[in-house]
Structure 1
Amino acid sequence: MARERMTLAKLFRRHGVDPEMLPHAPPSPPDSLVRTRITQAPLQPCAACGEDSSHILVRDFGDGPRWVDLCWEHGWATVEPAPRMPTTLEGILADVREVAAELGLELRPISPEEFQEMAHRARKRRGQP
């Protein structure tokens, strides 16, 4: 399934998001803070659609760093591919399968629902609802 790729600016225009209304973030937050934000209960709402977030970015839109919380669909739609990186899900999975096979690993992609369940279990382990 091909997803429409877009920039954050296009996503924000399409959904009427004012970046200045996003919550302030520390510059270059440590990974531990990002992990806490992405697994804390309740989950942060996607800046574009309000669904539970699964992608967290920190971007400066000119007035200091801001948290950009995005759901699965909007997060992947705005990911910029690296040079020579495949740009379709099928191409990406083919590359990952090849590397996994070289390492003798079994690849098992997870669905957005499984990802959310993993986040839920992580919150429970930390004593959060």
Structure 2
Amino acid sequence: MVKIPDLTNEFAKLSALKRLSNFKLTGVRGHIPKASHESICKELNNIYKAKNADYGNSFAESYKEWGITSAVVRMDDKMRRLKQLVKYDAKVKSESIEDTLLDLANYSIMALMELRREGNNND
């Protein structure tokens, strides 16, 4: 008897890759943002300022209370969201792969800021 391999997982991976290959960056208000490192860093900074204005300095506050673990948990949540967006179509249309990557990048930068502040305080 010939054993037929289970390809369910492989089909899921191919489907995710197909979705990524069709993925288009739309940015704010539907325009396609520039793809340069400098322009993305400026965009990250604008998002950082806007979200800090909305949420306050909650990242730094939770970092002071919980340390690097608080940053890791937030980044893990974003990575899990990214995996879901790659595997399945988003039900919440305001949460795109691009938005998730930008948030993940900002969390990484904020964690680095806090690590450096800790280093400066220990001198």
- Pick the TM interval, shorter chain: under 0.3
Between Structure 1 and Structure 2, the one with more strand by share is: 1
TM-score, normalised to structure 2, is: 0.24
Structure of larger gyration radius: 2
Between Structure 1 and Structure 2, the one with more helix by share is: 2
TM-score, normalised to structure 1, is: 0.23
